[in-house]
Amino acid sequence: MSHNIDQLCINTIRTLAMDAVQAADSGHPGTPMAMAPVAYTLWQRYLRFDPNDPVWPNRDRFVLSIGHASMLLYALLHLTGVQAVTAGPEGAGGPAVSLDDIRNFRQLHSRTPGHPEYRRTSGVETTTGPLGQGVAASVGMAIAGRWLAAHFNRPGFDLIDFNVYTLAGDGCMMEGVSSEAASLAGHLKLANLCWIYDNNKITIEGRTALAFSEDVAARFASYGWKVLTVGDANDLETLSRAFEAFHQTADRPTLIVVDSHIAYGAPTMQDTAAAHGSPLGAEEIRLTKRAYGWPEDAQFLVPEAVPAHFRNGIGQRGTESRKAWADRFEAYQTAYPEPADAFQKMQQGELPDGWDRDLPVFPADPKGDASRNTSGKVLNAIAQNVPWLIGGSADLAPSTKTRLTFNGAGDVTADTPGGRNVHFGVREHAMTAVLNGMALCKIRPYGSGFLIFSDYARPAIRLGAMMEIPVIHIFTHDSIGVGEDGPTHQPVEQLASLRAMPHLIVLRPADANEVVEAWRIIMQLRRRPAALILSRQDLPTLDRSRYAPAAGVARGAYVLADAGGGLPRIILIGTGSEVSLCIAAHERLSAEGIRARVVSMPSWELFEQQDRDYRDSVLPPAVTARISVEQASTLGWAKYVGPHGIGIGLETFGASAPLNDLQKKFGFTVEHVLEQARRLIG
């Protein structure tokens, strides 16, 4: 066995990856083996990270965008002795990844799942796997780092100055989201961001030459990045010089292109593409270990010198850095108590005292206003009291009404990183991944666009929901109310799609005061993202002296209007712009002596959280005549209207025409609702 301690550590990472993938009979051993020298150099020599406290705020972030190479990260977490501190399957205390966890790689309830999962394993900064998501999220982390520094650093107190390192592969470079994110990072000159590109020229199908021939270095240079090249992934000194060059670069992000060979060190390997995505096999592992000078039959071997070496490197350096930071923060609390208190509240996911003191109350108004407009007013009222609420849109802020307009809000730019308005450009996918990265650094981010373009953002929304981070997604132009823009811009299936996503709270408020209550709910979410669905067209502001208070939004659905004299004969259920339509039909039915109830149901998810008694009080099982009214797909409404009910919605795409014409064409009129109601009750 090699006595060179660097090589011993690298080969330990490699052999753990080989053995774990082989034991699981599943996984990707090639990239962890090839990138072991790169990861070792970064972690042992440069990464500012304390294994004893892997969540301290000023740690450097390491993102494994090539999530299929998860064993590379798990091996590092084990060998550096990272301690478990997060709530989740691993509990609190003890190693984040034990040797038994590595033996149970990819097994049920394992702390070493097939791809890294945030909250499941301490030391994992973000959930990765879908290629490109990690690099895009790392841009959000870098934006957050600069924003935090601008807001909290004071003379003599550099509270925040962390760097973000991301390991990416050919697949990440091919995915469009990485191009969007890299373009934004270059524009903002994020000098605290370093992507390490494993240029191994292999994907699942084979050589990248099958589909990928661009000059990646030239592309990133055109984005405004500093580009460095390391010709051999095993050259630790050249790697070190590249990381030093990154540290010395103050005006742009850095891309380090590292040439490697999949499963380097396995000289008999014939099919490198297969090695990328499948176990090596027992014989190949023996031959590879022989090439490393490793005991051929040893499995999950960790020489004693390896953890000790890491303790004396990243461990000692990280502990000293974290303790120095803690001392600095203690002095900062004395010198600057107010920002120190705000910083701590951010870290704990809390809100400032009085955050909701300026929430408006909207008077009844038959004309009303578009819910996107009222949302903009509420957002500005909240943001003035929650300094870390920041965000923007995918080039649509004038339409989504998400610009913060109060004095001092400002823009996030390369020169003013502490602004409150982020201009993401026409980049819905990258915007949403960037929001995830910002939320992971404890900023409360929001992003906005048209509901139809939630399809472009959906992969990152899904990962945010999986990570249970409180990102705020604001979607306007929520229906055929878009009118003349036509079916390309009229969402139909998007509401059903978002409602199908676990952990995501979807809210479609019916009027201005429901918008206020929706924001009140959203701001108090700590471990769930939310999608706020808003109209372009005006919605009447309901007279709450006649109808139930909008506070019912907190329960997902509530009885908005009712008829006396016992149970209603029919229930009309609406969301958003269709609630006022249900109210109009209710008034007509009541005038005819028909007992009708209107239920406003802005959030299915919140309604399902209520107990059975409450749900039955809103939707009595004995009342089977029910109609749902929503300008969207009827998919899913059968749960609430039941087998005898009717869903008035869209079964096809929309059309280009004025709104009134569209409402008549698709049946969103009082007359059509009344016709269906009378048919139901005979």
Per residue in 277-286, pLDDT tens? Answer: 678 899 999 9
Question: What is d(CA 286, CA 279) in angstroms, rounded to the nearest whole number?
Answer: 13
Q: Residues 96-119: what's their mean pLDDT?
A: 96
pLDDT band at 204 (very low <50, low <70, confident <90, very high): confident
Question: What is d(CA 191, CA 252) in angstroms, rounded to the nearest whole number?
Answer: 4
Question: What is d(CA 2, CA 9) in angstroms, rounded to the nearest whole number?
Answer: 10
Q: Residues 250-272: what's their mean pLDDT?
A: 70
Mean pLDDT of the residues in the chain: 95
Decide: residue 29, CB within 10 A, 0-12 exposed, 13-18 middle, 19+ buried: buried
Task: Write down the pLDDT at residue 356.
Answer: 97
Question: What is d(CA 308, CA 12) in angstroms, rounded to the nearest whole number?
Answer: 13
Question: What is d(CA 507, CA 492) in angstroms, rounded to the nearest whole number?
Answer: 16
Q: Is the pLDDT of residue 267 over 60?
A: no
pLDDT tens track for 558-574: 999 998 888 999 999 99
Q: Is the pLDDT of residue 272 over 70?
A: no
pLDDT band at 682 (very low <50, low <70, confident <90, very high): confident
Residue 567: other Cβ atoms inside 10 A: 12
Q: Is the pLDDT of residue 268 over 80?
A: no
Q: Which ranges of 267-368 would DSSP assign to H, the alpha helix?
A: 272-277, 282-292, 305-310, 316-335, 337-347
Show the tokens assigned to 500.
């199908």
pLDDT tens track for 226-243: 999 999 999 999 999 999
pLDDT band at 3 (very low <50, low <70, confident <90, very high): low
Question: What is d(CA 63, CA 351) in angstroms, rounded to the nearest whole number?
Answer: 28
Q: Is the pLDDT of residue 89 over 90?
A: no
Q: Is the pLDDT of residue 274 over 80?
A: no
| 63 touches 165 (CB < 8 A) | yes
pLDDT band at 218 (very low <50, low <70, confident <90, very high): very high
Question: What is d(CA 338, CA 585) in angstroms, rounded to the nearest whole number?
Answer: 53
Task: Write down the pLDDT at residue 346.
Answer: 97
pLDDT band at 208 (very low <50, low <70, confident <90, very high): confident
Decide: residue 142, CB within 10 A, 0-12 exposed, 13-18 middle, 19+ buried: buried
Q: Is the pLDDT of residue 90 over 70?
A: no
pLDDT tens track for 383-437: 999 999 999 999 999 999 999 999 999 999 999 999 999 999 999 999 999 999 9
User: What residue ranges define each of the domains in the chain, with the CATH number in brackets?
Assistant: 5-321 (3.40.50.970), 365-540 (3.40.50.970), 549-680 (3.40.50.920)
Report residue 560: phi and psi, to 5°: -85, -45
Catalytically annotated residues = 428
pLDDT band at 205 (very low <50, low <70, confident <90, very high): confident
Question: What is d(CA 465, CA 448) in angstroms, rounded to the nearest whole number?
Answer: 16
Q: Residues 370-382: what's their mean pLDDT?
A: 98
State which of 85-94, 258-267, 609-618 shows the largest mean pLDDT. 609-618
- Find tokens 């709450």 and name the residue: 544
Q: Residues 362-372: what's their mean pLDDT?
A: 97
What are the Cα distances from residue 247, in Å, to 193, 253, 433, 666?
Answer: 10, 10, 25, 60
Q: Is the pLDDT of residue 255 over 50?
A: yes
Task: Write down the pLDDT at residue 177.
Answer: 98
Question: What is d(CA 35, CA 121) in angstroms, rounded to the nearest whole number?
Answer: 21
pLDDT tens track for 283-319: 999 999 999 999 999 999 999 999 999 999 999 999 9
pLDDT tens track for 124-178: 999 999 999 999 999 999 999 999 999 999 999 999 999 999 999 999 999 999 9
How is 368-413 classified by DSSP, letter by letter?
EEEHHHHHHHHHHHHHTT-TTEEEEESS-HHHHT----STT--B--
pLDDT tens track for 22-31: 999 999 999 9
Q: Which of 320, 381, 280 is nearest to 71 (CA)?
A: 280
Reported pTM: 0.96
pLDDT band at 206 (very low <50, low <70, confident <90, very high): confident
